[in-house]
Amino acid sequence: MKTEAILDHENAGRILEEGWNLFQQKGYRGVSVDELCRSCGITKPTLYYYFQDKENLFVQVLQYRLEGFHKTVEQPGTLAERLEWFATSIFENFRSEYNTLLRDREHIKRPENLERIRDAFHCEMFGPLIALMQSGIDGGELAGDNAEMLALIFLGVVNNLIGKAAEMGVENSALARQATGYFLNGVRKS
């Protein structure tokens, strides 16, 4: 079943949400189907009805949770606003570094599933962010000539701040504003 079709079912939505929480906490290998079923209050046949196996579930969880990230970057606004919105969205949706989820790709065996994960990350996060950086370069707001490098630097900053807002005593949006400010203005004292 496609992710859109299964969202019409309460069990499927619960599985996707709980899968997202568990995969972030424990990684792909650390989550068992039994644990996920217990956590959702369902049986294995119910899980397999919606998701043919754990690998397919992992892929659909990532696709489901990444869906819509591109909208934060593509909406009208200044470069700074769009970067802040993007960072805030990551802070609000991820509990652990997204690199952990990317590393879990090594456990995916079927090439078509690896491609689906690559497409989800590229279409929803990396591609739109690279396009935004290129727009900033073209408009003279950003230095350099490598939009992909700038996107990776920004993502590196954001990735390292996931889950830190509460520790710092700030809201996710305030942390996103501060991280974006450092990215755009640097940290050198004027």
Q: What is the pLDDT of residues 13-68, one digit of tens each?
A: 889 999 988 888 888 888 899 999 999 988 999 899 889 899 999 999 989 888 88
3-63: which CATH topology? Arc Repressor Mutant, subunit A (1.10.10)
- Return the minimum-mean-pLDDT range out of 67-76, 98-107, 131-140: 98-107
User: Could you give the maximum distance between any two Cα atoms of the chain, in Å?
Assistant: 63
Whether 96 shows a pLDDT value over 80: the answer reads: no
* 8 Å CB contact between 157 and 179: yes
Residue 58 CB partners (closer than 8 Å, separation 6+): 19, 23, 28, 104, 108
Residue 173 backbone phi and psi in degrees, to 5: -65, -35
The pLDDT of residue 99 is: 64
SS3 99: helix
End-to-end, the C-alpha distance of the chain in Å comes to: 56
Domain positions in the chain are: 3-63, 68-185
Most confident of 75-84, 104-113, 115-124, 161-170: 75-84
Does the global pTM surpass 0.85? no
Distances (CA, A) of 39 to 11, 36, 167: 12, 5, 28
**From the candidate CATH numbers 2.40.50, 1.10.10, 1.10.357, 1.10.3470, the one assigned to the domain spanning 68-185:** 1.10.357
